[in-house]
Structure 1
Amino acid sequence: MPTDLTQLATRAGTRASVVRALERLDRFALQTAQALAVAGEPASYEELLGLLAGDDGDPVVAAALPHTLGVLREQALVWGGDDRLRLIRTAWELLSPSPQHPSPTGLGPTVREATAGMSPGRIQEIVATAGLASTHDSVSAVTALSALFSDPERMSALLDEAPAESVAVLERLVWGRRTGR
């Protein structure tokens, strides 16, 4: 038994404790934690709701989310107010994608992570190929790419212009393994 709150908090944040807590979650609570792992940090309630409910705003998801956030807080997996929701570090490490390993969500790394080792010239090539204006530095180029990839309407228009072969590859990645060449 822990002798004080510090010991209890330390034990609750260990990898084994967090894995155990995640295993006990129902599917929607686990999906909520996974959405927080890929959301911006900290995430707002509205951002999290958008990730889970989709563009149409599923009313069932909207009704279930407040209770589920309460469960995640009770399990000490989430902290912060509704305007600054955060996963505890260990849960974030277990659930978020990285350049080397896709997360359990099946998602790969963020644009920022994927471009981390690229030369500035290569990043500018990607910006130009995506139809964006060139920028004076890599940071603003990656920011522009991130904005493009997170805007459903702009991405849809970009994919409408893509060659059929490219769209076929993306379809295979969506419905199959999330990594490929």
Structure 2
Amino acid sequence: MSLANTVLWAATEGEEATPNPLLPATYDIVWSAVAFAIVALVFWKFVLPQFQSMLSERTETIEGGIKRAEEAQAEAKEALEKYRAQLADARHEAAEIREDARSQGQQILADMKVSAQAESDRIVAAGHQQLAAQRQQIVAELRSELGRTAVDLAEKVIGEQLSDDVKRAGSIDRFLNELDSVGADSGK
């Protein structure tokens, strides 16, 4: 007999006498199945429902948070659009106000120029009137002064006194008229 046959014979003979180490005994399998069933039942009755309720709460919380975030985002977008619209309106209104102010400023400036020109014309006219009045007053004063001087000279030349006021006034007027006619003829 060879060594291989001997090993084979020993292996076949030992099967009946020794149990398979990979297969547990029947009573171990039964009691393990009962224990597993009890643990599975407890898990199924108590742990799994709590786990499911906790998962559903978390799902609702997360979904509610997402929904609230989406709503808040939509509100923020809407508020942003309103803000942008109001900003555009405010810019447009500011441009209109600036344009109105510019046109009013130009109108006020034009009105001020017109009123300044009118005031200037009034002042110039008043100055001309005052100058004419002063000229007439100076001419009248010069006439009377010239008349007196002429009478004094005439008295010295004639040697007689022209004391009569009527004579004096007539002589003065006659002298001044002659003087005016001489001045008018020389001016031509």
TM bucket normalised to smaller = under 0.3
Higher relative contact order (CA 8 A, sep 6+): 1
Structure with the bigger percentage of helix: 2
TM-score by length of 1: 0.21
TM-score by length of 2: 0.21
